[in-house]
Amino acid sequence: MLGVPFRPAVATGGGPLQRRVAQSAVARYGVAVVSVAVMVVLGLLLRPIVLAAGQLLLLAVLVTGWISGLRPALLAWGLATAAFAYHFTLPLDSVKVDPDQVPRLMIFALVAGFMATMSAARRRAEDLLRSARDELEARVRERTTELGESERRYRHIFDSTGVSIWEEDLSRVKQALDHLQARGVHDVGDYLAGHPEFVEHVIALVKIVDVNDASVALFEAGSKEELVVSLLRIFVPETRAAFRKAMTSLAEGRPFFQGESVVQTLKGQRLTVLFTVTFPRPPASFESVLVTVTDITDRKRAEYLTGHVFETSPDAVYIVGRDYRYQRVNAAFERRWRLPAQRIVGMRVDELAGTEPFEATYKPHLDRCFAGEEASFVGWFPTPAGRQYLAATYSPLRPDSQRVEAALAITRDLTDHARAAEALQQAQAELAHMTRVTTLGEMTASIAHEVNQPLAAIVADANASLNWLASATPDLDRVREALAAIVKDGHRAANVIQRIRQLVTRTAPQKARLDVNDVIRDVVPLIATEVRSHEVSLRLDLAVAVPPVVADRVQLQQVLINLVMNGMEAMTSIADRPRELVIRSRPHEGGQVLLAVEDAGVGIDPSSVSRLFTAFFTTKRDGMGMGLSISRSIIEAHGGRLWATSNARHGATFQFALPALR
């Protein structure tokens, strides 16, 4: 039964009393019984005076029909007819009815029945009417509340929004423009452009109804009143153009106008604004037209700065879409390709930069960028200005969505740097060659010894063979033995010469996969004689498994020879301890391979540590001071590091680490 009391009354109910009665069938039928009883009592009281008092029972039927509806009324009708027959038809107080009384009783019954139905029908009609009215009233109340809410919301938005809103009355403006068109002016825009005085007139016709707080703040006004005076207070000459366009839109019956313009605050500050006018539909009134004004001064400035950076960047900057077509390019890019931006925009990258570089380099990096990664690369690329060494970075652009829409490319021309680096490398290679030759010069005696040893053996063995063959019974076994030794020593001599040739031949560095242990083993025969003449004992301490490196074999040998020679020379004055030199190989931290040459010499003078690797620094009487400097630049060119440390007890360790091949 919840909520029922608030519903509009249903057909069986009436006013407050009826509604309450209608709730219970007992009550409703009780009304019939009670009203009939009351009328019987009243009729009996009046019967001695007039027998027609029995007609009062009709009232009971009428009342019951009115209050309780049709069915209780029919009950009342039955009861009333019975009571009438019993009490008010002759013979009185008897169920018997005189035959001459029958018509009277019939009439009573008919009238009472008619009254019952009539009264109930009336009751129902009235109830329907009442409920319809109640419903209507409720609806009106609801709508009123809604309208109030909407108005309140609108006011709230109007007042509290950050957007400046102007409520303007343009009805007189509309009239003036209509008048103009009525006079036969078709192109309102054209007319306005040619009639500035008319524009001023129209401006004056604009009545500012209201402005919101945001407008007061934006235009630096003290109050709304200061602002609503006239549009002229915020207009600057440039504003007129936008105003003319807005008026043209109005005259042409467009639904709204949006434009960008410059205005000024009451304090004279210039603002760049975006304003929107929503025009009412033609039959509606132009008394309340809303104009919103958005301050885009900062945005414009940022746009200007971004655009300025884009256009004036010395780096070529461009945007490439997912279709590999240029969307925007800057001036530096135009200069590089010697084409105007209009020609480039829309071209595919391969059409401009060439199919081969596109497939090999641009496309894979662009694809990575479109997949969301930042991609960078450097290389030589053909351009109309010749081959250029370009360093490029592609950044993904996602203007709206998560999907990368385009790639922002920034490319820098490093041709000059690359050329300089190449020249430097060339110079270094020449210097390295020179020092290599110098080192070899210093090692000539050793090298001669190294070659003459096998040659001496060969000559001696050849003579021995001749001697054996010259005897009466040649000892061929001995001859064979000597010849085998000749072959072996011949190869040995050739190997030594081969190694020396490698060191002396001027070749561009050739990087290959190398085992540093092999490099060490190659160097040992070259330095063996020096090791002996310096009375040094050489010990190899090689790691069983070192990862390979990518390096130039000869250059590494040169560095190693340099370090070994230095180590040995550092020990020439040592007499009180073994002159031991250790060449060591080890896997090193960070995926590197370490090569160390440890001596037991005089060690490093702390005052010269910092200059150790600089060119022309030497502690030797006849040294050039190039060895360590060259060695360091060779190792650094291999992406490695060369450094020196003092040993715990005696001497120093010179070592270098190279990145291992993964």
Partner 1 sequence: MSAAVPTVFVVDDDRSVRDALRRLLTSVGMTVEVFPTAQAFLSARRPDAPGCLVLDVRLPGLSGLDLQRELANTNATLPIIFLTGHGDIPMSVRAMKAGAVEFLTKPFREQDLLDAIRQAIDRDRIARTERQELTELRRRYASLTPRERDVMAGVVAGLLNKQIAAELGSAEATVKEQRGQVMLKMQAGSVADLVRSAGRLGIGPSGIVGPGPHQGRVDRSPGPG
Shorter beta-carbon distance to partner 1: residue 319 or 496:
496
* Cα 159 versus chain centre, distance: 34
Shorter beta-carbon distance to partner 1: residue 9 or 458:
458
Q: Applying CB under 8 A, which part among 33-41, 382-390, 475-483, 628-636 lies near partner 1?
A: 475-483
For residue 167, give the nearest of 157, 175, 180, 177 by alpha carbon.
157
H-only helix segments in 183-231? 188-194, 196-205, 213-218, 224-227
Q: Does 492 bind partner 1 (CB under 8 A)?
A: yes
Q: Applying CB under 8 A, which part among 56-64, 465-473, 605-613, 625-633 lies near partner 1?
A: 465-473
Q: What SS3 state is found at 545?
A: coil
Q: Applying CB under 8 A, which part among 330-338, 357-365, 461-469, 540-548 lies near partner 1?
A: 461-469
Q: Applying CB under 8 A, which part among 69-77, 427-435, 476-484, 567-575 lies near partner 1?
A: 476-484
Shorter beta-carbon distance to partner 1: residue 246 or 447:
447
- CA distance linking residue 484 with residue 478, whole number of Å: 10
Q: Is the peptide bond before 255 cis (omega within 30 degrees of 0)?
A: no
Sign of CA dihedral 88, 93, 99, 105: positive
Task: Output the smallest distance, CB 493 to partner 1, in A.
Answer: 10
Q: At what angle do helices 70-87 and 102-160 cross, to 10 degrees?
A: 150
The string over 312-342, giving b where at least 16 C-beta atoms fall within 10 Å of a residue's C-beta and e elsewhere, is eeebbbbbbbeebbbbbbbbbbbebbeeebe
Parallel, antiparallel, or unpaired: how do β-strands 641-646 and 580-588 relate?
A: unpaired
For residue 550, give the nearest of 639, 431, 641 by alpha carbon.
639
| Cβ partners under 8 Å of residue 31, min gap 6 | 21, 63, 64, 67, 68, 72, 76
Q: Which of residues 399-418 bind partner 1 (CB under 8 A)?
A: none
Shorter beta-carbon distance to partner 1: residue 27 or 483:
483
For residue 652, give the nearest of 532, 543, 572, 570 by alpha carbon.
570
Task: Output the smallest distance, CB 455 to partner 1, in A.
Answer: 4
Secondary structure letter of residue 281 according to DSSP: P
Q: What SS3 state is found at 290?
A: strand
Both tokens assigned to 229: 């005076």
Task: Output the smallest distance, CB 361 to partner 1, in A.
Answer: 56
Q: Applying CB under 8 A, which part among 167-175, 267-275, 482-490, 510-518 lies near partner 1?
A: 482-490
Q: Show the binding pattern over residues 438-457: x = contacts partner 1 (CB under 8 A), - = does not.
A: -------x--xxx-xxxxxx
Q: Which of residues 498-557 bind partner 1 (CB under 8 A)?
A: 529, 532-533, 535
Shorter beta-carbon distance to partner 1: residue 148 or 474:
474
Q: Does 488 bind partner 1 (CB under 8 A)?
A: yes
Task: Output the smallest distance, CB 354 to partner 1, in A.
Answer: 60
Secondary structure letter of residue 175 according to DSSP: H
Q: Applying CB under 8 A, which part among 16-24, 401-409, 488-496, 567-575 lies near partner 1?
A: 488-496
Q: Does 487 bind partner 1 (CB under 8 A)?
A: no
Residue type, 151: E
Q: Applying CB under 8 A, which part among 150-158, 281-289, 460-468, 606-614 lies near partner 1?
A: 460-468
Q: Show the binding pattern over residues 316-355: x = contacts partner 1 (CB under 8 A), - = does not.
A: ----------------------------------------
Is residue 91 within 8 Å of 98, Cβ to Cβ? yes
- CA distance linking residue 563 with residue 569, whole number of Å: 10
- CA distance linking residue 104 with residue 111, whole number of Å: 11
Distances 25 to 79, 117, 301 between C-alpha atoms, Å: 17, 18, 82
**Interface pick for partner 1 out of 329, 482, 556, 564 (rule CB under 8 A):** 482
Both tokens assigned to 604: 């490093």
Shorter beta-carbon distance to partner 1: residue 26 or 472:
472
Secondary structure letter of residue 577 according to DSSP: S
Secondary structure letter of residue 515 according to DSSP: -
How many residues touch partner 1 (CB under 8 A)?
A: 30
Task: Output the smallest distance, CB 431 to partner 1, in A.
Answer: 28
Secondary structure letter of residue 234 according to DSSP: T
**Interface pick for partner 1 out of 243, 389, 468, 613 (rule CB under 8 A):** 468
Shorter beta-carbon distance to partner 1: residue 34 or 451:
451
Shorter beta-carbon distance to partner 1: residue 161 or 463:
463
Shorter beta-carbon distance to partner 1: residue 127 or 599:
599
Task: Output the smallest distance, CB 468 to partner 1, in A.
Answer: 5
Paired with 656 in beta bridges are 595, 642
Task: Output the smallest distance, CB 452 to partner 1, in A.
Answer: 4
Shorter beta-carbon distance to partner 1: residue 452 or 507:
452
Task: Output the smallest distance, CB 585 to partner 1, in A.
Answer: 24
Shorter beta-carbon distance to partner 1: residue 454 or 659:
454
Secondary structure letter of residue 473 according to DSSP: S
Task: Output the smallest distance, CB 531 to partner 1, in A.
Answer: 9
The string over 175-209, giving b where at least 16 C-beta atoms fall within 10 Å of a residue's C-beta and e elsewhere, is ebbeebeeeeeeebeebbeeeeeebeebbebbbbe
The 3 state secondary structure assigned to 348-396 is: EHHHHHCHHHHHHHHHHHHHHHHCCCCEEEEEEEEECCEEEEEEEEEEE
Q: Does 481 bind partner 1 (CB under 8 A)?
A: yes
**Interface pick for partner 1 out of 71, 348, 478, 553 (rule CB under 8 A):** 478
Shorter beta-carbon distance to partner 1: residue 92 or 448:
448
State the CB neighbour count (10 A cutoff) for residue 576: 5
Q: Show the binding pattern over residues 161-200: x = contacts partner 1 (CB under 8 A), - = does not.
A: ----------------------------------------
Is residue 393 within 8 Å of 376, Cβ to Cβ? yes
Shorter beta-carbon distance to partner 1: residue 101 or 467:
467
Residue that has been written with the tokens 């400097």 in this structure:
629
Shorter beta-carbon distance to partner 1: residue 457 or 612:
457
Task: Output the smallest distance, CB 458 to partner 1, in A.
Answer: 7
Q: Applying CB under 8 A, which part among 48-56, 232-240, 288-296, 479-487 lies near partner 1?
A: 479-487
Is residue 627 within 8 Å of 559, Cβ to Cβ? no
Task: Output the smallest distance, CB 623 to partner 1, in A.
Answer: 22
| Cβ partners under 8 Å of residue 168, min gap 6 | 206, 207, 208, 209, 288, 289, 290, 291
Q: Does 213 bind partner 1 (CB under 8 A)?
A: no
Both tokens assigned to 210: 């209201």
Task: Output the smallest distance, CB 484 to partner 1, in A.
Answer: 11
Task: Output the smallest distance, CB 476 to partner 1, in A.
Answer: 13
Residue that has been written with the tokens 């020679």 in this structure:
565
Helix (H) or strand (E) holding 271: strand 270-278
Shorter beta-carbon distance to partner 1: residue 75 or 574:
574
Residues of this chain that interact with partner 1 (CB under 8 A) are 445, 448-450, 452-461, 463-465, 467-468, 478, 481-482, 485, 488-489, 492, 529, 532-533, 535
